[in-house]
């Protein structure tokens, strides 16, 4: 028997696993030329529960039960036809202490969303890699600009100085498309960090550095699709590994067909099975091997990189029955683990449908098991209201009041991800023409209403971008992330005056937010806006915060007796950013297009 490293097996996925998992069943993919003609056994007391061969002879899927395995190394014996047997060793690693009970992100956190390629180039030596197609070209707006994991690590202190507590990075796994690969949503190897970002070990080091600062790390996970260059699509295990049509068929993007009791079957099928774009084949999560593969890949990254949460891309483009089971497989392993799904729908009822234990989805006997959803309805409002000076029935600040009046639809309103912008939307500073008053109102609202606030990199220094000019314009390089940048906004000494004003406000606001649990988990009482002024309270049994948003261009005089039920016996309010004291028995004067946050005393 040959104990030397064999040349027949080219890939093993997962590359290693962990002992003591909640689900003891492990499906191991072995890939190599004609590997399926081998007989497989083990030299250890390891129970092989299933060996699955497909029509493609280059794949064999071996399932073992890891429940009672005490060894850290398993010897798989492969016996090819008419050849000597060989041994393939497989590692089982120990889990971190209390790994299954890891704490995740919640509404006490503020999340910073960054795009690694556009954030900072910390290691110029990995700008290009011989194994990947697209090369460094910072002059090309949609090209690879060289930002990487090292750039993130070098600027963690900057992120922390903003009052941020969690980092969501867009995907870092390999994307070997010939162009526009910088965003990495068309992944070509989901067990490997893109070498232009760094290595798997670099990602683990990022996690360690994040946790050393008591921050949290959220991975952007993609269940719906891979990229055309994915290694497995060049030699698929099965024909139905991805959804295929007689002719190319793109999704109709009508996710409402999933919950629509009147929807036609063909519309629903095209929504779920159509490809997102021509370069992103749609994964068939209903295939049991695909389903198991995606479950294990997600859990492997959580365990290996010690992650604190997932943001799940295009969550409701996958078959509901199976994406909900995928989510449950993760939370069965990690009961406290938070996952936020990208549900790009603007109707609160349809958004609620996708949150775990939704009373709306219950009518159809469906439960997504998804703890959190992205509040796109609120995002849409925050992108228009501060340009609406007239407070009509459904215009101006009233839009937010009306949205929050429907919070009863959500089973866990505190666990909604709230944001004004992200990498797929218009930038706030462009919409509001870099009017910092409007930026301050938007940030104040994100910091004080229910939910988990998410900021988008660069807005805190006034970065803008016009989506009408293409995605690259809303995904510009952070100034100072490259050695030859004329302006370095990471360094407080070299920020422009404009950048400093934006940064100082944002930092002070979100550092304050970290200290006040009334805005983390407290209740909300809000009042119908008058004259485009919105007043609401966040409170618990020990604290109360009064927030006033004046969306009127003119100064407003706010009479406090109307808010007696929330003011109660409080006598004064300390404004958290200016330290000014307001007498609550007197009218409050608030400047036009401004906000006040009062901690009541």
Catalytic residues: 313, 342
Q: DSSP assignment, residue 371?
A: -
25-46 burial: b if 16+ Cβ within 10 Å, else e: ebbbbbbbeebbebebebeeeb
Query: Rg for the chain (alpha carbons), in Å?
Result: 26
What is the full DSSP assignment across 115-139?
A: -HHHH----GGGS--TT-SS-B-TT
Phi-psi region of 26 (alpha: psi -120 to 50; beta: other; left: phi over 0): beta
Q: Would you say 449 and 375 are in contact if contact means Cβ atoms under 8 Å apart?
A: no
- Helix, strand, or coil here: 222? strand
Q: How many CB atoms lie within 10 A of CB 227?
A: 22
Chain mean position to CA 586: 44
Report the alpha-carbon distance of residue 192 to residue 381 in Å, rounded: 38
What is the full DSSP assignment across 468-530?
A: GG-GGGGSPPPTTSSTT-S--TTSTTT--HHHHHHHHHHHHHHHHHHH-THHHH-EEEEEEEE
Q: Would you say 223 and 301 are in contact if contact means Cβ atoms under 8 Å apart?
A: no
What is the full DSSP assignment across 19-85?
A: SS-SS-EEEEEEESTTGGGSEEEESSS-EEEEEEE-SSTTEEEEEEE-TT---SEEEEEEE-TTS--
Q: Would you say 285 and 326 are in contact if contact means Cβ atoms under 8 Å apart?
A: yes
Torsion of CA 149, 154, 155, 158, to 10 degrees: 150
What residues does 540 pair with on adjacent strands? none
Report the alpha-carbon distance of residue 493 to residue 512 in Å, rounded: 23
What residues does 111 pair with on adjacent strands? 166, 454
Q: Would you say 434 and 466 are in contact if contact means Cβ atoms under 8 Å apart?
A: no
Structure tokens given for 471: 């995605």
């Amino acid at each position: 028997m040959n104990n030397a490293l064999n040349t027949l097996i080219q890939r093993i996925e997962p590359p290693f696993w962990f002992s003591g998992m909640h689900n003891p069943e492990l499906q191991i993919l072995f890939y190599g030329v004609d590997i399926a003609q081998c007989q497989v056994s083990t030299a250890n007391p390891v129970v092989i529960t299933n060996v699955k061969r497909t029509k493609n002879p280059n794949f064999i899927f071996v399932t073992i039960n890891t429940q009672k395995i005490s060894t850290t190394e398993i010897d798989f014996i492969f016996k090819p036809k008419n050849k000597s047997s060989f041994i393939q060793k497989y590692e089982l690693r120990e889990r971190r202490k209390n790994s299954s009970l890891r704490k995740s992100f919640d509404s006490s956190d503020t999340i910073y969303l960054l795009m690694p390629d556009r954030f900072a180039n910390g290691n110029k030596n990995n700008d290009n890699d011989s194994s990947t197609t697209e090369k460094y070209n910072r002059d090309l707006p949609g090209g690879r600009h060289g930002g990487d994991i090292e750039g993130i690590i070098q600027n963690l202190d900057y992120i922390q100085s903003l009052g941020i507590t969690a980092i969501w990075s867009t995907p870092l796994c390999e994307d070997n498309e010939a162009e526009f690969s910088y965003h990495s949503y068309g992944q070509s190897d989901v067990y490997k960090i893109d070498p232009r970002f760094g290595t798997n070990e670099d990602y683990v080091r990022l996690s360690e550095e994040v946790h050393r600062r008591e921050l949290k790390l959220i991975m952007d996970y993609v269940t719906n699709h891979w990229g055309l260059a994915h290694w497995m699509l060049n030699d698929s295990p099965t024909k139905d590994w991805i959804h295929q049509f007689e002719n190319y068929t793109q999704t109709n993007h009508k996710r409402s067909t999933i919950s629509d009791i009147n929807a036609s079957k063909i519309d629903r099928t095209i929504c779920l099975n159509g490809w997102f774009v021509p370069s992103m084949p749609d994964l068939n999560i209903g295939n049991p091997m695909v389903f198991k593969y995606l479950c294990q890949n997600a859990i492997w990254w959580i365990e290996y990189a010690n992650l604190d949460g997932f943001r799940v891309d295009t969550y409701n483009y996958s078959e509901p029955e199976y994406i909900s089971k995928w989510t449950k497989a993760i939370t069965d392993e990690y009961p406290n683990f938070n996952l936020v799904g990208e549900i790009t729908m603007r109707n609160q009822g349809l958004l609620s449908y996708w949150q775990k234990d939704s009373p709306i989805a219950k009518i159809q006997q469906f439960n997504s098991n998804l703890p959190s959803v992205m509040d796109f309805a609120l995002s849409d409002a925050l992108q228009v209201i501060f340009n609406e000076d007239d407070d009509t029935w459904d215009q101006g600040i009233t839009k937010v009041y009306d949205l929050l009046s429907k919070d009863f639809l959500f089973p866990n309103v505190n666990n909604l991800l709230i944001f004004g912008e992200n990498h797929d939307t218009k930038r706030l500073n462009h919409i509001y023409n870099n009017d910092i008053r409007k930026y301050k109102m938007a940030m104040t609202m994100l910091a004080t209403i229910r939910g988990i606030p998410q900021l988008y990199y660069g807005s805190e220094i006034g970065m803008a971008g016009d989506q009408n000019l293409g995605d690259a314009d809303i995904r510009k390089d952070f100034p100072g992330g490259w050695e030859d940048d004329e302006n370095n906004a990471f360094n407080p000494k070299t920020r422009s005056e404009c950048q400093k004003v934006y940064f100082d406000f944002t930092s002070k606001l979100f550092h304050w937010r970290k200290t006040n649990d009334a805005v983390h988990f407290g209740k909300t009482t809000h009042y119908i806006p008058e004259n485009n002024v919105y007043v609401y309270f966040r409170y618990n049994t020990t604290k109360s915060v009064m927030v006033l948003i004046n969306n009127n261009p003119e100064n407003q005089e706010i009479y406090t007796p109307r808010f007696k039920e929330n003011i109660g016996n409080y006598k004064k309010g300390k404004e958290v950013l200016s330290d000014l004291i307001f007498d609550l028995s007197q009218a409050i004067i608030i400047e036009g297009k401004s906000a006040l946050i009062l901690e009541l005393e």
